[in-house]
């Protein structure tokens, strides 16, 4: 099909990668955007969720916030932000037009899965282990940092990993409001019936998503090496829960 | 100077260029047919996608369960699909299916599928072994065992997955506006492009309302389908 020939041509033409509107610049823009949004969501969500999980309170909210978040289309959220007086389409840092709106929408998108996963992670630490910590005379802080956090880390890490890939994928939606990122290539090609270009953009986004997923998996293994044997099934069942909990593409 | 005032005899409505309010009853009344059309299209796309997802997920889950070696592949591919951005998947399909509702339905069905396969596998795995053994002892063949024993017992878990899939699909349908079949997403897109706040806000709220309504509907259906779960409590 000629479309795939066009795609190949677009991908192999160096001029399409360089320059201010080239794919490399857009890719960099989207990467920074993804990481910032994720960090923002982590800074806000992680302490809150871990604290609630440690206290064992607010479970209803912590778990249902993901369900609520899932029902709100990211596109609608982004559209509302862009149309409102604030943040509107104002530029923000390196993110270009509608940068602030995109950043906020993505951070809000990442927040629910991070909160729910981290809360569940701390709550799921076996109660006999917690009791043993109490019995050893640990204070609340000691129990949290020396017992709960290390045991919860694998699930927290898998939640963050899921959020990372999903934020990256969802960031392409910014193009629907003429915002930053690689989504531009997709929508540009699409609206000008240059399908080769559109598909080229889609491929680049998909490949980077895959690379991010692999990198995150490697990082996860570094931060929270999954122990073999008995913890294996716990790990898989929990990450299964995490993925059903966090599943939400833009 | 006075021309602007004369634009409408009964005063500026809340959705005029000047006021452009977010919440506007007048908009809902004046654009009722358009809103209805978009809502129905939204429901149609969501329902078709989830149904198609269910129809494909069921045999996949059965195959994955039967051949354990395939299970990790099926689950892996399902997870892989989820990392493809929706905005990328739609253009990828356009050369084959064109700017049609089919494009949107197939793409959304793929996403729903990933959640549903997992839920079905989990649900079937959660059926207690002794129940399966007793059914076998009673002379149940593979088919009857599946449809009369295992599936009914797996319904709660499958329904939980169906709820997640449905609610996400309602939200995702808005992206279909890229190929002009996005239900309420079309209104959202038009609202952004023409800075029409009432249209944008109304459509967004309707999206969330639709998601909640369908969620409640599935919960009710589950209560009807699994009367024994209520009997236990009573």
Q: Is the pLDDT of residue B112 over 90?
A: yes
Terminal alpha carbon distance of chain A: 30
Interface contact A249-B94, CB threshold 8 A: no
The verdict on a CB contact (< 8 Å) between B185 and A187 is: no
Judged against a pLDDT cut of 90, whether residue B165 lies above it is answered with yes
Half-sphere exposure of B118 (CA within 13 A, CB side): 29
CATH no. of B31-225: 1.10.3720.10
What's the CATH code of the domain at A95? 1.10.3720.10
Give B58 to chain A, closest Cα distance, Å.
17
pTM attached to this predicted model: 0.83
Of A67, A172, A244, which is closest to B87 when you measure between CB atoms?
A172
Q: How far is B59 from chain A (nearest CA, A)?
A: 20
Per-block average pLDDT, block size 10, for chain A (250 residues)?
Answer: 81 82 88 93 93 87 84 91 82 78 91 90 91 91 91 88 89 86 87 84 88 87 61 41 43
8 Å CB contact of A202 and B185? no
Q: Helix A230-246 and helix A59-71: axis angle, to 10°? A: 50
Inter-chain CB proximity A76 and B188 less than 8 Å: yes
Chain A residues lying within 8 Å of B170, measured CB to CB: 71, 73
Other Cβ atoms less than 10 A from the Cβ of A188: the count is 15
Mean of all residue pLDDT scores within chain B:
87
Distances (CA, A) of A69 to A22, A107, A113, A248, B74: 33, 12, 9, 9, 27
Helix B184-193 and helix B197-225, axial crossing angle in degrees, nearest 10? 160
Alpha carbon separation from B176 to A90, A173, B106, B142, B184 (Å, rounded): 26, 12, 11, 41, 9
Is A1 or B109 the better-scoring residue by pLDDT?
A: B109
> What is d(CA B184, CA B170) in angstroms, rounded to the nearest whole number?
10
- The set of long-range contacts for A17-24, using a CB threshold of 8 Å and a minimum separation of 24, is A21/A184, A23/A182, A23/A185, A23/A201, A23/A204
Q: Give the closest residue to B183 by CA, choosing from B198, B171, B193, B197.
A: B171
A-to-B residue pairs, Cβ atoms closer than 8 angstroms: 151
Confidence of residue B173 (pLDDT cuts 50, 70, 90): very high
In tens, the pLDDT along A64-92 reads 888 888 899 999 999 999 888 878 777 77
Q: What is residue A228's predicted lDDT score, i.e. its pLDDT?
A: 43
Looking at per-residue confidence, does B17 or B147 come out higher? Answer: B147
pLDDT at site A43? 95
Contact criterion met (CB < 8 Å) for A70 and B174? no
| Interface predicted TM-score of the whole assembly (ipTM), two decimals | 0.83
CA dihedral A249, A162, A49, B169 (to 10 degrees): 20
List CB contacts of A210: < 8 A, sequence separation 6 or more: B80, B83
Q: What is the pLDDT of residues A92-107, one digit of tens each?
A: 777 777 888 899 999 9
Mark yes or no for CB contact A71/B211 under 8 Å: yes
| Residues 27-66 of chain A whose Cβ lies under 8 A from any Cβ of chain B | none
At B5 the pLDDT is: 40
- Chain A positions in Cβ-Cβ contact with residue B114 (cut-off 8 Å): 247
Query: What is d(CA A236, CA A133) in angstroms, rounded to the nearest whole number?
Result: 25
CA torsion sign for B87, B90, B95, B100 is negative
Domain count, chain A: 1
Nearest chain B residue to A244 by CA: give it.
B115
Query: Which residues of chain A does B215 touch, with a Cβ-Cβ cutoff of 8 Å?
Result: 71
Chain A residue with Cα closest to B188 = A76
Mutate to test the interface with A, among B21, B23, B81, B85 (most CBs of A within 10 A): B85
Residue B70 pLDDT class (50, 70, 90 cuts): confident
pLDDT of A245: 41
Q: Which residues of chain B are within 8 Å of residue A206 when distances are taken between CB atoms? A: 83-85, 88
Cβ contact B84–A209 (<8 Å): yes
Confidence (pLDDT) at A148:
92
Put simply, whether A238 touches B (Cβ < 8 Å) is no
Give the number of residues written for chain B.
Answer: 234
Residue B124 near residue B64, CB atoms below 8 Å: no
Predicted pLDDT of residue B221: 92
B160 contact residues in A (CB cutoff 8 A):
244
Suggest the residue from A71, A106, A205, A243 to mutate for an interface test with chain B (most B CBs closer than 10 A): A71
List the 188-217 stretch of A: residues with Cβ below 8 A of B: 189-190, 195, 198-199, 201-203, 205-206, 209-210, 213
Tell me the chain B residues in contact with residue A64 when contact means C-beta distances shorter than 8 Å.
Answer: none
Model pLDDT for residues B201-215, shown as the tens digit of each residue? 999 999 999 999 999
Residues B3-30: tens digit of each pLDDT? 344 344 455 688 887 778 888 888 888 8
The pLDDT assigned to A243 comes to 43
CB-based contact, A73 to chain B, within 8 Å: yes
- Confidence class for position B33, pLDDT limits 50, 70, 90: very high
> Does A72 contact B86 at a Cβ distance shorter than 8 Å?
no
pLDDT of res. A241: 42
Q: Which domain holds residue A207?
A: 2-246
pLDDT in tens, A195-225: 888 888 888 988 898 899 889 888 888 876 6
């Amino acid at each position: 099909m000629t479309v795939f020939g066009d795609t190949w041509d677009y991908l192999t033409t160096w001029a399409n990668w360089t320059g201010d509107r080239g794919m490399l610049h857009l890719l960099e823009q989207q990467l920074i955007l993804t990481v910032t949004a994720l960090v923002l969501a982590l800074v806000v969500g992680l302490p809150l969720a871990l604290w609630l999980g440690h206290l064992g309170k607010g479970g209803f909210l912590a778990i249902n916030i993901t369900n609520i978040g899932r029902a709100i289309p990211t596109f609608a959220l982004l559209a509302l932000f862009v149309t409102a007086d604030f943040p509107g389409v104002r530029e923000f840092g390196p993110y270009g037009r509608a940068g602030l709106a995109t950043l906020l929408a993505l951070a809000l998108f990442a927040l629910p899965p991070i909160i729910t996963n981290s809360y569940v992670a701390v709550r799921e630490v076996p109660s006999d282990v917690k009791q043993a910590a109490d019995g050893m005379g640990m204070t609340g802080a000691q129990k949290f940092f020396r017992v709960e956090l290390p045991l919860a880390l694998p699930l927290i890490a898998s939640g963050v990993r899921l959020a990372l890939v999903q934020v990256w994928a969802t960031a392409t939606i910014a193009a629907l409001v003429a915002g930053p990122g690689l989504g531009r290539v997709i929508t540009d090609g699409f609206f000008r019936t240059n399908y080769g270009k559109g598909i080229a953009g889609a491929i680049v986004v998909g490949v980077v998503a895959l690379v991010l997923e692999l990198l995150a998996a490697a990082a996860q293994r570094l931060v929270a090496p999954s122990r073999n044997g008995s913890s294996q099934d716990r790990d898989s069942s929990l990450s299964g829960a995490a993925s059903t909990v966090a599943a939400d593409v833009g | 100077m006075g021309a602007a005032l004369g634009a409408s005899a009964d005063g500026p409505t809340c959705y005029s260029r000047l006021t452009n309010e977010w919440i506007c009853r007048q908009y809902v009344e004046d654009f009722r047919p358009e809103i209805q059309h978009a809502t129905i299209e939204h429901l149609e796309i969501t329902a078709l996608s989830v149904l198609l997802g269910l129809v494909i997920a069921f045999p996949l889950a059965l195959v994955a369960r039967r051949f354990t070696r395939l299970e990790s592949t099926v689950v892996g591919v399902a997870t892989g699909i989820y990392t493809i951005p929706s905005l990328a998947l739609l253009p990828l399909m356009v050369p084959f299916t064109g700017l049609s509702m089919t494009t949107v339905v197939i793409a959304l069905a793929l996403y729903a599928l990933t959640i549903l396969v997992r839920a079905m596998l989990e649900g079937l795995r959660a059926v207690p072994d002794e129940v399966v053994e007793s059914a076998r002892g009673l002379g149940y063949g593979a088919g009857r065992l599946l449809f009369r024993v295992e599936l009914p017992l797996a319904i709660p878990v499958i329904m939980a997955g169906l709820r997640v899939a449905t609610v996400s699909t309602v939200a995702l349908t808005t992206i279909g506006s890229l190929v002009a079949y996005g239900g309420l997403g079309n209104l959202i897109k038009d609202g952004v492009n023409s800075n029409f706040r009432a249209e944008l806000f109304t459509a967004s709220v309707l999206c969330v309302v639709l998601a909640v309504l369908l969620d409640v509907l599935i919960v009710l259906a589950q209560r009807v389908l699994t009367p024994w779960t209520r009997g236990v409590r009573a």
